[in-house]
Structure 1
Amino acid sequence: MAVVHRVARDDTHRFSKTPVAEIRLLAGLGVEGDAHLGERVQHRSRVAVDPEQPNLRQVHLLSLERLEDLAAAGFDVAPAALGENVLTAGVDLLALPLDTRLRLGDEAVVRVTGLRNPCAQIERFRPGLLARLVGRDDEGRVILQAGIMAVVETSGTVRPGDPIVVDRPAPPHRRLERV
């Protein structure tokens, strides 16, 4: 069964977030009290390019399984350390198609917009970690493994232990790209 393992937010633009007992997702905006809340892009590097871009990175989701893989490779990475708002368990986030909807708990619904693009901050956080989160497939295509991004479609409160219901869009499915 897919569940929310941890939730986090941070009201400043720091790399890591702070684990909390619950987060409130606001439709069209993101995580209440988080620095990335807003209809328009909030990531500083993207604001510098075009502050009028829509915010397709309102919620960052990462899987507990990814953290466990990193731990097995010798990296000490705690929940929320990579800046995720929602740490999931039991769902292969990277395999989801574009526009998949995830019901988090009783009310909240997010729509998957793409892959998180790991940046140099990850390498500064833990040397060697960036190479573990960016790879190549058999055809030489870049594979990003730092989680997924989503926008909030339906507001709601999300807590650890909440179930996650996956609703894939109708085929044909489009694979996730960097957003």
Structure 2
Amino acid sequence: MTRSTEAGTVVAVCRNQQPGLPKPVVDEIMLQANWGVEGDYHAGKLVRHRYLARKYPNRPNKRQVLLVDVQSYTDIAEVDIQLGPGAMGENITVQGLAVMQLPLGTHVSVGEALLEITEVRTPCKQLNGMHEQLLQAVTTKEQGKKCFKAGMMARILRGGRVRAGDQICIQPDTALTQPQLFP
């Protein structure tokens, strides 16, 4: 399921009251169950992603937290894109846990909180505001289908405080399906 362990470490936490990138790194974030990150634009009962909110205004928010593995930043550095935590709009940057390999439905504890992985993040052209080739760098093709490697979305099952240095762990027996790496 993961590269080497079923646990990792939080490298950074980020939030932004405004839409857009980057999300600034902060000392800690407070996660609210079934709501999102306190003080973050994407928190709310209904989906807050601007495109999805226009298309499906009554859709429940299952995109409350974005997790990105530092491996994503390492991978894009190989194509000369030098960015760091928050640049892809994530709330939690982790190391040591292969975020993109987490099956949908997996529960992970992070700091005081408990999350459920809900979907692969489908990135948009807004990433190119950070670097003109970023969207291309996190989009690949596998078996003729687009595959995105820009983080996993989660909903908050149990709220709590999360800080850099906190552990993130897969909760046993919660993986329901394999990740779907394309829309």
TM-score range (shorter-chain normalised) is over 0.9
Shift of 1:125: 2.5
Could you tell me which amino acid in structure 2 is paired with residue 159 of structure 1? R
CA contact (8 A) 1:116 1:178 kept: no
CA contact (8 A) 1:100 1:111 kept: yes
| Match 2:97 to one of 91, 99, 111 | 91
Secondary structure of the corresponding residue to residue 25 of structure 2: strand
What is the identity percentage for the equivalent residue pairs of Structure 1 and Structure 2?
Answer: 33
Which stretches of structure 1, 4 residues or more, deviate above 6 A after TM superposition?
Answer: none
Aligned to 1:175: 179
| Match 1:43 to one of 40, 49, 53 | 49
C-alpha distance in 2 between matches for 1:11 and 1:171 = 32
Could you tell me which amino acid in structure 2 is paired with residue 54 of structure 1? P
TM-score, normalising length from structure 2? 0.91
C-alpha distance in 2 between matches for 1:10 and 1:170 = 30
Distance change in 2, residues 1:104/1:170 (3 Å): closer
C-alpha distance in 2 between matches for 1:176 and 1:168 = 20
C-alpha distance in 2 between matches for 1:170 and 1:81 = 30
Unaligned runs of 5+ in 1: none
CA contact (8 A) 1:113 1:150 kept: yes
Could you tell me which amino acid in structure 2 is paired with residue 53 of structure 1? R
Per-residue CA deviations over 1:36-63 (Å, capped at 9, x if unaligned) read 0111001111111121101111000101
Secondary structure of the corresponding residue to residue 78 of structure 1: coil
C-alpha distance in 1 between matches for 2:158 and 2:182 = 23
C-alpha distance in 2 between matches for 1:20 and 1:92 = 23
Distance change in 2, residues 1:51/1:65 (3 Å): same
**Given the alignment of the two structures, is residue 119 of structure 1 paired with residue 124 of structure 2, yes or no?**
yes
Shift of 1:147: 0.5
TM-score, normalising length from structure 1? 0.93
Shift of 1:164: 0.8
Aligned to 1:146: 150
C-alpha distance in 2 between matches for 1:15 and 1:169 = 35
| Match 1:61 to one of 41, 59, 67 | 67
**Given the alignment of the two structures, is residue 17 of structure 1 paired with residue 23 of structure 2, yes or no?**
yes
Aligned to 1:159: 163
Distance change in 2, residues 1:177/1:69 (3 Å): closer
Secondary structure of the corresponding residue to residue 178 of structure 2: coil
